[in-house]
Every structure is written in C-alpha cells, then in structure tokens.
Structure 1
Amino acid sequence: MNILILGSGGREHTFAYKIAQSTKCDKLFVAPGNAGTAEIAENLDLNPIDFAAVANTALEKDIKMIVVGPEDPLVKGIVDFFKNDERLKDIQIIGPSGRGALLEGSKERAKEFMAMYDIPTAAYESFSFESLEAGKNFLETLKPPYVLKADGLAAGKGVLIIDELEEAKKELENMLSGKFGAASKKVVIEEFLDGIELSVFVLTDGKNYKILPTAKDYKRIGEGDTGLNTGGMGAVSPVPFADDELMGKIEDRIVKPTVRGLQEEEIDYKGFVFIGLIKVKGEPYVIEYNVRMGDPETEVVLPRIKTDLVDLFQKTWEGNLDQIDVEVDERAATTVMLVSGGYPESYQKGKTITGLKEIDNSIVFHAGTKKDGEEIVTSGGRVLALTSFGKDYKEALKKSYQSAEKLQFDKMYFRKDIGFDLS
C-alpha cells in the first residue's frame, strides 16, 4: 500500500525508517519531510494542517494509510475531516479524533478526564483572566515551586515552574494576558511533584492496547538539567528504574482506566497515547497526556520494536490490536540530539553539515535539515538525532557520543550527560 507520513522532524524520519522496512509498504511519502526522509521516501511540499491539500494528495497518490506525526493536525481535527468525507473515510489514518486529541489540546480537559477515572495526578485548579485574583489566591495555598501550564498547545513552551510566589503571580497574569497567545487564555495551576520522570507509550484501537517500550527524555538545554526547556536533547530506552512493580502500577492505575475512559465516552481513538509520568516515592502520577509519539523518544522507542509497524497500524485501524504481539529488541537504545547554537532561543539556519557519511555505529535521524544543492544544511533548532544500541544505556550512549564527534556544523551543540540521573 502507499503510505503518507505527516510532519518534518526526527519523529517522522524514524517513522519513515521503520515503515520503509515493511513488506506492506509499496510507496512512501512524507509531507513536508526533511533531508533524511528524502533518502528513503518522496517528500511532498504539503502543510499538514491544510486538510484539503492533504486530502487531494491522498486521492491523487492513492494513499491507503496516513500516519500523523505532530499534534497540531490531530487537535485541529484531521481524523474527523477524513472520516466525514465519503471519498476519504476508508483511508487508514493513525491518530485520535478531535475529541480524543483534546487530551493534549487542553490541559484542563486532561485533568478533568483524570479526575473522572481516578487516574493519579497532581492537585490543580484552572483559571481565566476573569478569575485572575482567585488564581493568585490559589497560588498562596501551594508550596513552592509553582507550576503554571497554558491550557492549549504552546509548542512545548507553555509550562513554567517558578520558585518565588510573587513571580508566579506575575507570570500568571502575563500568561492570561496573552504571553502564549490563545494557548494561555486559560491557565492550569497545579501542585509541584518532586520525583523522576519517564514516558510510557501506548498504542490503542480504542478498546485494546499495547504498551510500547518506556523512554526517558531530557528537556533542558544545559547539562545537569539546567537552563531553558527544549523540545528534547536526548532520550534513553528502556528506563532502568521502570521495573515490573512500577510498570504494574502504571498499567493498572493509569493505562487501563485511560483506555476505559475512552471507551465509556465513545471517543474514536486509533493511535498513540503518550503518558508523561513522574515517579514519586515509588508511586506513578500523570503529568500530562500527549496524543502522538514524543520526539526524541520516538527515536529510541521505534527502533526497538521488531514487529512490522504497518501490521501494527493496520490492526489498530481494524480494532484488532489484540490479535498481534509486539516484539521488542532487548538491547538498550539511546539518542543524542545535535542542535543549533543559540537554540532554544534565536539561532541561524543554513549551516553546512559534514561527516554524515562517516557514521557507521549509529542511526542518524534528521530533524531540522534540508538539501541545498549537493549539501545538507541545518533548517531548525534540533538538527540531528544519533540513535545507538548497546547491552545497556551506557554502552549505547558511548556509541552515540562517538558518532557525534564525527559530525560538524557551525556552532553545533549537544548535551554530554544524557542519562546522568540513571546510574
């Protein structure tokens, strides 16, 4: 079958890498893609949130399956758009409906869902500009640090963790006054949970589910988890502290009630549930839901899955996910992100990347790259992800760092301490 992947980052290159290995994939397209996807698929100059253009292309290219990488098209309702068009409804589109995507599209909705199904999470309240003073009063009832979350999508930048009460009150006002645009018209304030984070990925057809390999990513730009938040500077899979006891708690207390909630609310959900978790004194709590795979976690999770990804997606679409097993590579996988100098603030693009052909011990996933004549140049903040396997995460990381030393572009930066908190 012909398959289309929507998106342009490292996550989408990883999807392309796995789907291209499937015997069921005849022709693979990525829209808009990057220099890496161009090597294994046909890139299409297409905006993933231009649903009419995506639909016309799907019909023109005889697309039978669409894999939606980023959250924006899902929250904006691409699944509903296809399902409600007689010409498109049989295309197997992997992702939740707009109602399902609200679990990521609205922090308030996610919190209400967790409360409804007794899913453990931090205590919270949500506020609008009209209830600003009530929000400030609520902050006074909490212990520092204070967690403020924009209700809507803010490109991964809508969460603030603040140590001082007066600063938290000021930032609450700034957010409700439009600091993150429409995304922060409403703000969720929640108690701070002190623990260690991990991510659990679930593939579900709305009633059956498969728990995929765990991962832990590293968001801060600086070593020792300091500095500004980024889209992610690296990841490790599996998570060493996610033992059978913890995973049992996660499945029973979080995964099962989440899927049950989708069923009870009759939400059309055929895709990924990415559960951001924190382990506090041995107990798991949900920080947030995402309704797609994470990036850079995809770069360590998918390479470990041996099962044909297209088979998995077909069974998901059909509602028969219980009829297939997920086989996982026992080796550890790690990825290290190479980013542009200045990221996550201002940075320059168009820097020539050298050394790509020298990499033989890692998989290179392109994130922010494009072709410029015969050269490959930077086109984003996160540029390349270097994924390696090893008997444990330390061996895998050693390979990723050896590969990083072979690559070069102007002002290239990467964290040298991925996994620092696991030993």
Structure 2
Amino acid sequence: MALDSAAIRAEFPCLHQSVNGRPLVYLDNAATAQKPRAVLDASRRYYEEINANIHRGTHHLARAATSAHEAARETIARYLNATDPAEVIFTSGTTDGINLVASVIGLGGILAPGDEVLISTLEHHSNIVPWQMLCERTGAMLKVIPCHEDGSLDQEAFRTLLTDRTKIAAFTWISNAFGTVNPVREMIAAAKSAGALVLIDAAQAAPHLTIDVQALGADFVALSGHKAYAPTGIGLLWGKRAVLDALPPWRGGGEMIKEVTFAKTTYNELPFKYEAGTPNIEGAIALAAAFEFMESVGLEVIGEHETKLIRRAAEGLSALSGVRLYGPDDRAGALSFGIEGVHHYDLGTLIDQMGVAVRTGHHCCQPLMARFGITGTTRASFAVYNTEAEVDALVTAVDKALSMLR
C-alpha cells in the first residue's frame, strides 16, 4: 500500500511554512515530531469542552474528563496489546518512566552490593544516568554492552556479560543517535533466561514499529508521546502487572492512596499507585489520538515509506566528498553523519539557512560519541510526512554548505 504523502502532509499544519524564504524541510523528528490535526483537535476539545480534574469529581465535566482519560488508557492498552489497561502508567515521557522503574527497584530492595545492571553503549543519557544513580545507592555494578564499528551491539559480548548477578537489563530498541535497530526480542529472552528484569526504551521505536508488549516479553516498556506525533510532556510506562504490584510506590500524594491517616497510609491499586497528583489529562487523551492516527495510516506502511527515505538519504549523502555515515545499513528513523574537517554545528547552522532542520551534537549519547572518537554528528531523522523531495533538498543543502565551509 502506497502512502499518500500529499494527504498526510495536509494533516500537519506546522509543516506549511517557510524558513528563511524557503519551504520548511523538517528532519528533526527523532527529537520531536510534528502533530497532526487529530491530535491538535483532541487537545483543543479537552480544554474547550471538558476541562476538569478527574476521578474524584461528581459534576458533569469531571465525569466527562475522567471517562475520556480512562478511555485513552484503554485505547493505548489495546494499541500495545497489553493484557490489562491498568498496566499502562501515564508519565511525562521516557525519562520519567525509566526513573520511575529505577527508583522503585531501589526502594524494593532488589539490588544488593555486587549485583549488576546491564545497559548498552547505544543508550541515551536517560537510560544511563538513572541506573548509575541506582548503582551508587545500592552498591550494584553497571555493565555496558559494547558495539561494533558499524554501530550494532556486540551480541556475543552481551551474552557473556549476562550472569546470575545481572538483576536488571535496560536497553534501547532503536538508537536515537545512529538508528541502530536492536534484536530486542532475542535480547529480552536471553536476559529473562538469566533471571533479570528487563526494561526497553521504546522512545524511538514508537513512531516506527509495532509494539506488542506480550510478544516482546519485557517487564517494562517506556516511551514518549512527542516523538510519536503526540504533545510534549506525556508518555507512558507499561509494566507487567505482577511486577508492578510487587514493587513499592514512588511519589506520594493524591490519587496514589486509598486511605491516609497520620499513623498509616494505604496505597491505591494500579495504575493509580504510580500516578500521584493531577495527571496530564489532555496529554493522555492526545496520546491516544496520536496512536489512533498511526494505526489509521498503518505502521507497516509508515515503516516502508521511511525506509525508502532513509536509504535515499544514505545514498545521496555518502556520494558527497568526506561524508561518513554512522550506524548499520538497516538503520531506522535516524541517519547520523559526519564530514571530515567540518564541525557538525557549523553544518547544521548553514543548512538551516536553506530551510532544512536537522539536529547536531551528541544527541544525549556522549559515551557513544566517545566510543567513535567524535564530539557529535549531524542527524537527519524521518517521519511519515517526509518526502523524497525533502531528502533531495537535504542532500543539496549539505553539498552547498560544504562548498562554503571548505
């Protein structure tokens, strides 16, 4: 099934503008994606029609907002193929979800001195720092899966690093920096066989791949809405009910309690046990709308379209003098490249003058950049609304910028 690019692009108002007198070419989707009208409308309808706090109010707006919020949870649970909507915990994003898990694991007494947490070289800082902090608090050790020169993880080293001391394994599905797609099902199965709890950072996978949490077999999956066409400040943590039930709460406050006295507090059941305070009601409703949008287009269709774009970009950029591409050939979502003798910031600034928006820097992956002996890259990242003409505009802009910088 071919993608109707014109019809898709018509759904994204932000794309229809000029930058420095040129049509905007937005290729910074791994940082945040633009929002379709369905998502914008869902946000606006909440504030215009049913804006109220949820769960405890008896008046009409409170009941309507509660219904819409919990319907969003059910929609998202279905989208993820979760067995129970209560397994979907609304967060502010992937970072929040990972911190939640790291914190409650620490509070739950799962780690002891000498135990190990296993992550990978490809991780975003949000899947490194919370585990470092947890290890500092517990005396556990952080182990890191190395990667090959092509940006793929060393699977032999991964299996060697797995031991009976590995209590947590946390790794990304798709690298935000290099677009590397990890064989997560196989890695999850291996880590589970070793007796570890497993968390998957699905921030980059969410807009590109179908997420079936039952088929994956992980204990936790965290993702952010804003990379998947939803608003900023909303995301989710999915967790197996048995695992979440066994872990303690994280933040205290309203909603996460059943009864409070000065002598003792009784905690609420899932999902509210992990949703203290007033949630991002509009964000949850809009996140469900974003998932419905992707479902209406089809993740397979989106994936095929983006694969064509990223391959075209890789072919065009690699033909330019001095360009090095990072990551394996079967990368997804993002294409990172460096140019000999040219600083990534200078390149990004120049092509922005030509209307092309990319990301430059270390992409919150400083250990990965250090592994390759660089300070950063230029990264073009793709979404359902990008076109072959925009890919060609990127290549042309880089070529022109190089003629000015050299």
TM-score (norm 2): 0.31
Q: Bigger radius of gyration, 1 or 2? A: 2
Query: Which one has the bigger helix percentage?
Result: 2
TM-score (norm 1): 0.30
